[in-house]
């Protein structure tokens, strides 16, 4: 069984400040891990993914995440927040082919960026 | 190259009615999954279709059923609608085996279902 816990349902930062969104996962098999962003009234857009290659993953819009197996974490960071980063962010885990790559999502973290 | 498309965008139904939602996958994709996203929650996996068969199912009742056509498009059917079925329904498609993005799911914009 797999699960994802996102710590903090709401994170507020100032424009230009560091963004840190936390994600911890539980998986009985080596996981694939994903971060998605969702803007109001839209679907999900993939920011980045970890698929057992490099542990530091770079994504779109300046975001990156580091896979830490010992901490079962996959936190999302961005050095400098922009107003356009305000959105809901979801961390998700999937297994390998045997799971048909079904995604299990966390409950999401709403990021607000203050001017 | 069109991404994943879904129709309709919005839908309003009353309790007890039936609804059909439609999804066309991204070009080059042959696997379609459906997710339900209740307000303020993360998406929950409903089921996945590949080669016109349901391959995996989440914890949803039999009122939720689906279909996949030879052109890989898919439908989600919900019978005997309940108030609790109100949600954003997301379709996601995955590339054919062997492609570099095989392990990645691409999402459509969703269908917002409101049950009154």
Segment A31-53, tens digit of pLDDT: 899 999 999 888 899 999 998 77
Segment A77-88, tens digit of pLDDT: 999 999 999 999
Q: Are B114 and B11 contacting, i.e. CB atoms less than 8 angstroms apart? A: yes
pLDDT in tens, chain B (116 residues): 679 999 999 999 999 999 999 999 999 899 999 999 999 899 999 999 999 999 999 999 999 999 999 999 999 999 999 999 999 999 999 988 776 777 789 999 999 999 99
Beta strands across the sheet bearing A56-58: A3-7, A19-26, A73-78, A64-68, A56-58
Ramachandran angles phi, psi of B3, nearest 5°: -85, -155
| Residues of chain B found within 8 Å of residue A30, distances taken between Cβ atoms | none
Percent of chain A with pLDDT over 70: 96
Q: Which pLDDT score, from 0 to 100, does residue A98 have?
A: 60
Reported as a pLDDT band with limits 50, 70 and 90, residue A27 is confident
Residues of A in CB contact (< 8 Å) with B are: 4, 32, 34, 36, 41-46, 49, 51, 90, 92, 94, 99-108
Q: Which pLDDT score, from 0 to 100, does residue A99 have?
A: 61
CA distances from A97 to A13, A26, A29, B73 (A): 38, 18, 11, 22
- The end-to-end CA distance of chain B, in Å, is 37
Q: Is B96 on the interface with A (CB under 8 A)?
A: no
Q: Which pLDDT score, from 0 to 100, does residue A29 have?
A: 75
Contact B103 A107 (CB under 8 A): no
Contact A42 B110 (CB under 8 A): yes
Q: Which pLDDT score, from 0 to 100, does residue A115 have?
A: 94
List the one residue out of B17, B75, B26, B56 whose CA is nearest residue A46. B26
CA atoms within 13 A on the CB side of B54: 14
């Amino acid at each position: 069984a797999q699960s994802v816990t996102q710590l903090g349902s709401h994170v507020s930062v100032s424009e230009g400040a560091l963004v840190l969104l936390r994600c911890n996962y539980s998986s009985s098999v080596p996981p694939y891990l994903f971060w998605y962003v969702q803007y109001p009234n839209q679907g999900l857009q993939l920011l980045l993914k970890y698929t057992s290659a490099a542990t530091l993953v770079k994504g779109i819009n300046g975001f990156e995440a580091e896979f830490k197996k010992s901490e079962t974490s996959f936190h999302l960071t961005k050095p400098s927040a922009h107003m356009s980063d305000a959105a809901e962010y979801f961390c998700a885990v999937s297994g390998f082919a045997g799971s048909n790559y079904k995604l299990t999502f966390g409950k999401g973290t709403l990021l607000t960026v203050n001017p | 190259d069109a991404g994943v498309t879904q129709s309709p965008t919005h839908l309003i139904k009353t309790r007890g009615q039936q609804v059909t939602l439609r999804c066309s996958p991204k070009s080059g994709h042959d696997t379609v999954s459906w997710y339900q996203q209740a307000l303020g929650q993360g998406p929950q996996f409903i089921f996945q279709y590949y080669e016109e068969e349901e391959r995996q199912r989440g914890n949803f009742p039999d009122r939720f059923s689906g279909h996949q056509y030879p052109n890989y498009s898919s439908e989600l059917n919900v019978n005997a609608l309940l108030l609790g079925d109100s949600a954003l329904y997301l379709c996601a498609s995955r590339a054919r085996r062997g492609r570099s993005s095989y392990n990645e799911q691409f999402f459509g914009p969703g269908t917002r279902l409101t049950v009154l």
